[in-house]
Structure formats: C-alpha cells, structure tokens
Amino acid sequence: MKPTQTHGFISDRDIMIAVTSNIIGITTLIFPRVIAQYTSAGDGWIAILIGGIVACIWSWVIAKIASSFPNQSFITYASYLLTKPMAVIITTLFIIHFILVTAYQVREVTVLAHQYLFDKTPIEVVSLLFLLVVVYGVSGSRAGIFRLIVIFFPTVIVGLLILVVMPLGLFKTENLLPTFQTDFQGHMKASLSTVGTFLGFSMLLFYIELVKEPKNTPKMAVKGVMIAVLFSFLIFLICIGTFGNATTRNLFFPAFDISKTVELPGGFFERSDVILFVIWTIIIFTTTLIFFDLIVLLMMMLFKNAKKMNIILGISPLIFLLSMLPVNYIEITNVGRFLTNSLFIFLLIVTILLGITYKVKGGNQN
C-alpha cells in the first residue's frame, strides 16, 4: 500500500496514544457513576481491575489479527478470513454504529457545555459549532489527525493528573469503606460495564493498516489500554473518596464535578472547572474526530470512487440531526448504554469470527 492511499503512515507510538485518547473520552466523565451504581463504597476498583485485564487481552487479540495483514484494509483481510459479503455486512454495521457514536459524542459535549458553562446558549448552536470543528479536523489527512492527537496528548495527561491530584485535600478514606461488600452479581455487572467503557480499542481493527511495520503494534496497543485503565482507576477512587458512593452514582458527570469542589491552600480556587472544561473538550474532540474519521475510512472502503469531502458533507447533517433526538438526560444515558452494549456484543462476535478463521487460515503478507 502506498502512503498516498492513506495520506501517510503512522508509528506504533501513534497507535498507543490514539488508543488511550479514544478510551479516555466522554465515558471517563460518566465512568465513576456507572461503576458506583453496581458496587458498594470503593469496591469498584475490583471491577476496574478485572475489566482492565479483559480489555488488555481483547485489544491484543484484535491488534494481533490486524497486524498479521500489514498495510491491508479491514475489508480486505476480513474478506480473506471470512467472505466478501460477510466483510461488507460487518463494515456496514460498524459504519452505522460509528455514526451513532459520533452523534452521541456531539450531544454529550453539548450537555457538558450547557450544564457548566454555556447555560444560556441553545444546545443546537453548541452542537453545530463543535461538529463544524470536527468536520474541519477530519477533512485533513489521516496521518495529520494522528499527529494532532499526539500533540494534544501531553495536555490530556496533564489535565488528568490535575483532576487526580487537586481534590486530594477533600479525599476521605472512610468513603472507601467498608470493603468487599458488593455481591457477585454486582461485580459482574460492574466488570462488564468497565470492559464496555474501554472498547475504544476497536479502532485497532481499522487503523493498523496505516502502520508501516506493525510488528510491535499489539504490544503498544496494550500499553495504550493500560494507561487508560490506570487513569480510570485513579479517577474512580478520587470520585468515591471525595463524594462517596451514594453521591457519585447520582452525579451525571462525577469526574468533572470534582473540579468544582477543589480546595487549595488559602481557600477555594474558583472557576477551576473552566480549565478542566477546556481539557475535557480537547479529549472529547479527539475521540469524536477518530469516530468520524472511521466513518469516512469505512465508507471509502465500500465505495471506492467516493470522494472524501462528499462523504463528510453528506454524513454531517445526519450526525447533527441524530445528536438532537434525545430530549433529556435519561434518554441520553439510555442511548449511551445501548451503544456500549451493542458494540460489546458485536465486537465480541466479530473478534471470535476473525480469531477462529485466523487460526485456520493464518495471516497474509501479500
């Protein structure tokens, strides 16, 4: 594959950073609430550990399969392992899912902005402006998107460290107690929810074709998942230690609400949430950018003669309209739960199908 076909190659490190950024998206904001709903006190760390291990293994399997077909598109190696019609069906279903996820991300960032900053600005305006920025970003080269993610990555890490360190003055260890009070069913539900939160590594199925020499890509992909798991673990403990389990499960964005209660020496640091709002906007922007680009990438696989800008301009109004459909927080939460559960089941089926046929047929270097 020539670099011009994918607008340039990327490195293993770029994949690692992209995986981390794609997992640490809007889900990290609501992640503590989801886990707290199924567990008692601070018991959620067990589910995060179990879910993190499963996510690492799962991402390695996906990366291993994709990297066995260097510089080949998903539909190419899926056609080789399965059949061409099956590959087309799977690709189409991924496109539909990514369209829904992109619309969900646009609406979530609008809710975040409307709730904490632009409370008097119509949500349609915020959604449209955010989507236009995403459209502008995805219109460039694919390698350029990854370079942008790499540039933003230090800011993301610093922001997450601030989120973890700043509330330590309000942290109460008694909020983590008593331990081991959650039943088996609660741990199972929390663990499954944790894995669902980390499914951002599904991008590995499609982007490894951009890596020129993907020999070490599976290892780097696992490292990317581990970084995301680590920060999710810390953010959950900080939320529970600061707010307690009962409060955390009733906050829509518990990870962001921490920034509004930060206490520094000499008093409260007012409007610290504005700084973290900017950082979270960057995080959600990179995640939305990836999902939108995946839509374009997969549609160009199906329609060889389609022009990139035509796809972008054609799909953008649909994404905007879909993002406006939920009317309240409950519907938005239900949409997020549906997208997570559907991707979990679908990705599991695809992984099993590809894994079995890969063991039978092996990789293809040609």
Sequence-distant (6+) residues with CB within 8 A of 142 are 6, 7, 8, 210, 293, 297
Please report, for the chain, the start and end positions of each structural domain, with discontinuous segments joined by +: 8-350
Half-sphere exposure of 44 (CA within 13 A, CB side): 34
pLDDT the model gives residue 2: 42
What residues does 267 pair with on adjacent strands?
264
CA distance 222 to 225: 5
At 178 the pLDDT is 87
pLDDT attached to residue 91: 96
Query: Which residues contact residue 98 at a Cβ distance below 8 angstroms, ignoring those fewer than 6 apart?
Result: 291, 292, 294, 295, 298
Query: pLDDT tens track of the chain, all 366 residues?
Result: 444 344 568 889 999 999 999 998 877 888 899 999 999 998 999 999 999 999 999 999 999 999 999 989 999 999 999 999 999 999 999 999 999 999 999 999 998 888 877 888 899 999 999 999 999 999 988 889 999 999 999 998 988 888 888 888 888 989 998 888 899 999 999 999 999 999 999 999 999 999 988 889 999 999 999 999 999 999 999 999 999 999 999 988 888 888 776 655 554 455 566 777 888 889 899 999 999 999 999 999 999 888 999 999 999 999 999 999 998 888 998 999 999 999 999 999 999 999 999 998 866 555
CATH of the structural domain 8-350, one choice from 2.30.110.10, 1.20.1740.10, 3.30.420.40, 3.30.70.20 = 1.20.1740.10
**Residue 219: partners with Cβ closer than 8 Å, 6 or more residues away:** 12, 60
Radius of gyration of the chain (CA): 20
pLDDT of residue 272: 63
Structure confidence at residue 219 (pLDDT): 95
